[in-house]
């Protein structure tokens, strides 16, 4: 309000009219009274010298009257009414009146404890001034207080400042901001520490003097209300709050018309608390669910520091149960809750563990619910107490007993069975148990067997069977429970005699991966059976041989009989005839007949002997023979017949020149086949004989082909190689030639084949097995 | 010697009787012929193989003149004695119901004898050597049989 109010500028209409002058005067008064400003108008009172010595109140509004606490000041003198108190003001007004320079100033007035801050506007009004001022005391006071406060904190209390800044809690000092009605509408930050700055994410300067809601509009209403409550009730606030993924603990305490709030970020602590809680829950769960009887017993020491008692501080449900206790008895002395415990070895152990600090364990039996129970108890010293953990091992004990019993049982079986029993480790390849039978039958002590370690099989088994075992081994590795493997082996005894054993193997123990680890073997001595078997086989072979021989002999004998008897009967006949003949000439003639008959007889007998020789012959006289040589030798023998007749013989040994054979046999083969070809030649044509040798599979094949009269194989085929069967009267032979050849050849695995066509010729194929 | 009812009858019988020998052993055959001749038989035919014997029988058939006795050897190369007899019985017996066969063998196995006697035409089974006395007995026997069936005088021998 800098404008000078010049009366002259008031619309003349208002002044000239008296009525309206009064009206406008009242109207003006009303306006000015309504104002919240203090408005006064002065006229200066000058002295003889023209200096202003006082002012006369021309006008004063209601507000000013209130402020001055005086009414009816109009026409009164300023200095006179307020002597001395407003002298500063007087000078300022005088200056305005004199200079006409407007005044716009904040002044501070202090009189007798009465403070006043005012903002004054004064303008010259004719020979006086118009003054308008507002009381800004409150504002100024607040500012002053602030300043003081800051100075207090800033200058004289740096230590406290440091302390506050050093705190991890965010500390804020608030003053209330109240509305006209006195209700708290906000809290003004008066002071903050470093932590607070961080928490609020604002610097000190941004916070101080600002309102809480003003700065953080999003502040929780409840939160705010709590603060209000603190200020109003004086009851401190203690609360944990959650906000922005953090946990805070707030403590608010009334201070003046405000409060100090200390906020700590307890997120970590909360987390830890949470973890601890969870861990506790987990531990408790474990504690309760472990299949052990658990208790923690704190040592109670007497005045001399010796353990005199224990307090059962914790126990899981199963431990309470077996001791017949209830939860209420936790925390009490065990001598009270378990009377007579002091005499029990359990107590002694507890004391020992608590005193010495070394853990112990013991197995002991108790009667619980009238049942014999075995417990394995662990005593573990923890701080000044003992954690006792008892494990029910009744089943295990029972299993151990059962095992012992069955071991005893097995041992008895092992000792009484006539079979040899052994357990061997498959991977280590050594015998880990063998019963006494090994000594009885083989003469080895069990100890000596164990000492052989992994050489045991090598040393005791027949080399062939050891090889067999190596192969058999791989099937043993995968043997399953219930499966049985069998093997027969020869084992040498301590006198170097071999014994046959029939061994049955089963799984004794399996490794974790399922493979066999130990094998139980039951060994039955079958030496006598084996010997009987061998004897049986030998006999059977012999029998077969005998049978063969018998068959040969039967045919042979039969044929022999006939062929021997023939010349003999002829001799008888001859004798008879000669007896009945008296004529000398005829007698002489007849006597000449003896010789040929006897020769026939001799030939037959020779032939028979030959057959027998072949049957009994072993393969002595085996050598490498060249066909060429044999052939020429035989040709020589038969030279008469060969040369005398129309005969052509071709021999070709180019594909196989020699054979390892018995010389006499080979000669017989050549001789016999060749002489047969000569005997059975056709009258109608020249005899052509072809001989050749070659390799055929595992045999040496001798082929002789002729173009003689041939043989009707349909009729004679089956008798071809039987002794003494002649097929035509054409020959003079004994009839055992082919039979002999067959015997020779088949003796060591050879065979003979014949092809023939009547009237065309015959082919003999002799497959000879070479001698080694 | 057997008694013949009429004097000279013996020789008459022996003169008329026709004998056939089937045997592969020629020496044996020669000697048998001599034995037979020594007791008066002169009408003797010999063959040494079954094949030849059959041809001989064809001949007999043609001439309608079969032997009274055929001596057949058991073991022969080529055709066995039994085979020959079977063939004879099948093909020729009808034409010579009076012919008798006597089997000869070096061996006498009981089952062979049984087998032989099964045959209708086989009169007997003898082991070698042939005995003159035995032959005479056989002839007498045959005569008596044949006289019963057919008139001896009617036989053309």
B31 touches chain A (CB under 8 A): yes
| pLDDT for residue B149 | 45
Nearest CA-CA distance, residue A664 and chain B, Å: 28
Considering only A639-643, A647-651, B95-99, B100-104, which range has the smallest mean pLDDT?
A: A639-643
CATH topology of domain A290-397: Beta-Lactamase (3.30.450)
Give yes or no for a contact between A42 and A128, defined as CB atoms under 8 angstroms apart. Answer: yes
Q: Strand A420-425 to strand A658-662: parallel, antiparallel, or no bridges (unpaired)? A: unpaired
Tell me if B1 is assigned to some domain. no
* H or E, element range at A678: helix A663-679
| pLDDT for residue A166 | 85
Tell me if B41 is assigned to some domain. yes
Tell me if B110 is assigned to some domain. yes
Q: What's the CA gap between A180 and A207, in Å, rounded?
A: 24
Options 3.30.70.260, 3.40.50.1000, 3.30.450.20, 3.40.109.10; CATH of A7-135: 3.30.450.20
| pLDDT for residue B1 | 45
What percentage of chain A carries pLDDT values higher than 70?
91
Q: What's the CA gap between A573 and B25, in Å, rounded?
A: 13
Q: Where in chain A is the domain with CATH 1.10.287?
A: 526-616
- What's the rounded mean pLDDT across residues A529-542? 86
Whether residue A140 is predicted with pLDDT greater than 70 in this model: the reply is yes
- Top CATH class of A417-517 equals alpha beta
Tell me if B106 and A565 make a contact (CB, 8 A cut-off): yes
Determine the CATH number of domain A526-616: 1.10.287
Choose among A734, A656, A740, A646: nearest CA to A691: A656
Q: Where in chain A is the domain with CATH 3.30.450.20?
A: 7-135, 290-397, 417-517
Determine the CATH number of domain A617-768: 3.30.565.10
Tell me if B75 and A562 make a contact (CB, 8 A cut-off): yes
| pLDDT for residue A386 | 92
- What's the rounded mean pLDDT across residues A543-547? 76
Considering only A219-223, A310-314, A618-622, which range has the smallest mean pLDDT?
A: A618-622
Residues A323-343, buried b or exposed e (16+ Cβ, 10 A)? bebeeebbeebbbebbeebee
Whether residue A86 is predicted with pLDDT greater than 80 in this model: the reply is no
Give yes or no for a contact between A494 and A442, defined as CB atoms under 8 angstroms apart. Answer: yes
- Could you tell me which residues come within 8 angstroms of residue A315 by beta carbon, excluding any fewer than 6 positions away? A294, A295, A296, A325, A330
- Structure tokens of A722? 């039987």
Q: Is A536 exposed, middle or buried (0-12, 13-18, 19+ CB in 10 A)?
A: exposed
pLDDT band of residue A732 (cuts 50, 70, 90) is: low
Residues in B closer than 8 angstroms to A572, CB to CB, are 128-129
Q: Where in chain A is the domain with CATH 3.30.565.10?
A: 617-768
Q: What's the CA gap between A692 and A652, in Å, rounded?
A: 5
| pLDDT for residue A762 | 94
Question: Mutation test of the interface with chain B: which of A559, A560, A566, A758, choosing the one with the most B Cβ atoms within 10 A?
Answer: A566
**How many residue contacts between A and B have a Cβ separation below 8 Å?**
69
Tell me if B33 is assigned to some domain. yes
Domain CATH code at residue B54: 3.40.50.2300
Whether residue A18 is predicted with pLDDT greater than 70 in this model: the reply is no
Closest-CA residue of B relative to A715 is: B78
CB atoms within 10 A of CB A746: 15
Tell me if A580 and B35 make a contact (CB, 8 A cut-off): yes
Whether residue A727 is predicted with pLDDT greater than 60 in this model: the reply is no
A69 touches chain B (CB under 8 A): no
Whether residue A364 is predicted with pLDDT greater than 50 in this model: the reply is yes
From residue A427, alpha-carbon distances to A453, A481, A691 in Å are 12, 18, 66
Look at chain B and report how many structural domains it folds into: 1
Whether residue B152 is predicted with pLDDT greater than 70 in this model: the reply is no
Domain that holds residue B66: 9-150
What percentage of chain A carries pLDDT values higher than 90?
16
B78 touches chain A (CB under 8 A): yes
Tell me if B107 and A572 make a contact (CB, 8 A cut-off): no
Which among B27, B38, B107 has CB closest to A597?
B27
pLDDT band of residue A2 (cuts 50, 70, 90) is: very low
pLDDT digits (tens, 9 = 90+) for A202-226: 888 888 888 888 888 777 777 788 8
Tell me if B3 is assigned to some domain. no
Residues in B closer than 8 angstroms to A720, CB to CB, are none
pLDDT digits (tens, 9 = 90+) for A257-297: 888 988 888 888 888 888 889 998 998 888 888 888 999 99
Tell me if A573 and B32 make a contact (CB, 8 A cut-off): yes
State the DSSP code for A770.
P
Tell me if B50 is assigned to some domain. yes
Check if the interface score ipTM surpasses 0.90: no
Give yes or no for a contact between A188 and A217, defined as CB atoms under 8 angstroms apart. Answer: no
Write down the H helix ranges in A417-522.
437-442, 446-451, 456-460, 463-477
Tell me if B38 and A580 make a contact (CB, 8 A cut-off): yes
pLDDT band of residue A691 (cuts 50, 70, 90) is: very high
Whether residue B31 is predicted with pLDDT greater than 80 in this model: the reply is yes
Tell me if B71 is assigned to some domain. yes
- What's the rounded mean pLDDT across residues A96-123? 83
A582 touches chain B (CB under 8 A): no
Give yes or no for a contact between A408 and A401, defined as CB atoms under 8 angstroms apart. Answer: no
- What's the rounded mean pLDDT across residues A486-511? 90
Give yes or no for a contact between B81 and B107, defined as CB atoms under 8 angstroms apart. Answer: no
pLDDT band of residue B155 (cuts 50, 70, 90) is: very low
- What's the rounded mean pLDDT across residues A750-763? 92
Whether residue A16 is predicted with pLDDT greater than 60 in this model: the reply is no
The residue ranking higher by pLDDT, B3 or A481, is: A481
């Amino acid at each position: 309000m800098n404008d000078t109010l010049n009366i002259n500028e008031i619309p003349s209409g208002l002044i000239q009219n008296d009525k309206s002058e009064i009206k406008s005067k009242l109207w003006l008064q009303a306006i000015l009274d309504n104002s919240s400003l203090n408005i006064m108008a002065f006229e200066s009172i000058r002295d003889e010298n023209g200096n202003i010595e006082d002012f006369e109140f021309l006008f004063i509004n209601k507000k000013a009257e209130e402020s001055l606490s005086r009414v009816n000041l109009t026409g009164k003198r300023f200095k006179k009414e307020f002597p001395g108190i407003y002298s500063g003001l007087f000078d300022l007004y005088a200056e305005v009146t004199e200079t006409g320079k407007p005044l716009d100033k904040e002044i501070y007035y202090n009189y007798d404890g009465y403070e006043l801050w005012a903002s004054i506007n004064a303008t010259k009004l004719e020979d006086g001034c118009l003054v308008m001022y507002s009381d800004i005391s409150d504002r100024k006071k607040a500012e002053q207080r602030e300043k003081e406060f800051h100075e207090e904190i800033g200058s004289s209390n740096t230590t406290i400042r440091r302390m506050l800044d050093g705190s991890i809690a965010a500390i804020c000092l608030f003053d209330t901001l109240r509305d006209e009605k006195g209700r708290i509408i906000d809290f003004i930050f008066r002071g903050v520490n470093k932590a607070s700055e961080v928490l609020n994410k604002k610097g000190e300067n941004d916070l101080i003097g600002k309102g809480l809601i003003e700065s953080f509009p999003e502040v929780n209403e409840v939160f705010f209300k709590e603060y209000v409550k603190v200020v109003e009730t004086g009851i401190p606030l203690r609360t944990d709050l959650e906000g922005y993924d953090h946990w805070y603990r707030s403590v608010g305490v009334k201070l003046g018309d405000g409060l100090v709030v200390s906020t700590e970020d307890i997120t970590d602590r909360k987390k830890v608390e949470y973890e601890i809680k969870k861990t506790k829950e987990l531990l408790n769960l474990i504690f309760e669910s472990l299949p052990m009887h658990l208790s923690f017993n704190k040592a109670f020491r007497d005045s001399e520091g010796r353990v005199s008692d224990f307090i059962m501080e914790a126990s899981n449900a199963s431990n309470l149960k077996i001791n017949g206790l209830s939860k209420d008895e936790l925390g009490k002395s065990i001598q009270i809750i378990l009377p007579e415990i002091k005499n029990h070895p359990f107590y002694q152990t507890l004391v020992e563990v608590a005193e010495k600090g070394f853990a112990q364990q013991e197995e002991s039996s108790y009667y619980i619910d009238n049942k014999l129970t075995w417990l394995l108890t662990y005593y573990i010293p923890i701080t000044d107490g003992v954690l006792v953990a008892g494990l029910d091992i009744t089943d295990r004990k029972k299993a151990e007993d059962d095992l012992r019993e069955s071991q005893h049982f097995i041992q008895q079986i092992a000792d009484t069975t006539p079979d040899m029993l052994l357990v061997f480790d498959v991977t280590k390849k050594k015998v880990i148990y063998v019963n006494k039978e090994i000594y009885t039958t083989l003469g080895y002590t069990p100890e000596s067997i164990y000492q052989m370690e992994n050489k045991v099989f090598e040393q005791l088994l027949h080399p062939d069977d050891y090889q067999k075992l190596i192969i058999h081994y791989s099937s043993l590795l995968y043997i399953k429970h219930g499966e049985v493997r069998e093997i027969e082996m020869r084992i040498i005894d301590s006198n170097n005699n071999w014994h046959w054993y029939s061994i049955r193997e089963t799984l004794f123990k399996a490794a974790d991966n399922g493979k066999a680890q130990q094998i139980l073997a039951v060994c039955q001595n079958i030496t006598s059976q084996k010997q009987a078997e061998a004897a049986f086989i030998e006999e059977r072979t012999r029998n077969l041989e005998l049978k063969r021989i018998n068959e040969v002999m039967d045919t042979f004998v039969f044929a022999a009989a006939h062929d021997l008897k023939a010349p003999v009967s002829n001799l008888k006949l001859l004798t008879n005839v000669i007896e009945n003949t008296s004529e000398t000439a005829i007698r002489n003639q007849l006597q000449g007949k003896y010789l040929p008959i006897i020769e026939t007889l001799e030939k037959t007998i020779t032939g028979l002997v030959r057959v027998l020789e072949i049957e009994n012959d072993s393969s002595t006289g085996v050598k490498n023979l060249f066909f060429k040589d044999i052939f020429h030798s035989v040709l020589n023998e038969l030279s008469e017949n060969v040369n005398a007749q129309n005969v052509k013989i071709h021999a070709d040994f180019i594909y196989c020149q020699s054979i390892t054979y018995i010389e006499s046999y080979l000669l017989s083969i050549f001789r016999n086949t060749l002489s047969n070809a000569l005997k059975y030649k056709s009258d109608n044509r020249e005899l052509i004989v072809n001989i050749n040798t070659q390799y055929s599979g595992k045999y040496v094949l001798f082929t002789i082909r002729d173009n003689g009269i041939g043989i009707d194989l349909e009729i004679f085929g089956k008798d071809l190689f039987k002794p003494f069967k002649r097929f035509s009267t054409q020959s003079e032979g004994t009839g055992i030639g082919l039979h002999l050849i067959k015997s020779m050849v088949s003796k060591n695995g050879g065979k003979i084949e014949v092809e023939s066509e009547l009237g065309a010729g015959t082919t003999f194929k002799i497959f000879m097995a070479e001698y080694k | 010697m057997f008694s013949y009812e009429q004097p000279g009858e013996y020789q008459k019988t022996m003169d008329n009787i026709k004998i056939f020998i089937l045997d592969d052993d020629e020496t044996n055959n020669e000697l048998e012929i001599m034995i037979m001749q020594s007791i008066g038989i002169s009408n003797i035919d010999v063959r040494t193989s079954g094949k030849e014997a059959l041809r001989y029988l064809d001949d007999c058939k043609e001439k309608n003149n079969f032997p009274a006795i055929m001596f057949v050897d058991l073991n022969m190369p080529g055709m066995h004695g039994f085979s020959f007899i079977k063939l004879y019985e099948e093909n020729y017996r009808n034409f010579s119901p009076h012919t008798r066969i006597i089997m000869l063998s070096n061996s006498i196995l009981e089952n062979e004898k049984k087998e032989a006697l099964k045959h209708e035409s086989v009169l007997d089974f003898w082991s070698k050597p042939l005995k003159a006395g035995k032959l005479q007995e056989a002839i007498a026997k045959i005569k008596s049989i044949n006289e019963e069936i057919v008139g001896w005088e009617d036989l053309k021998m």
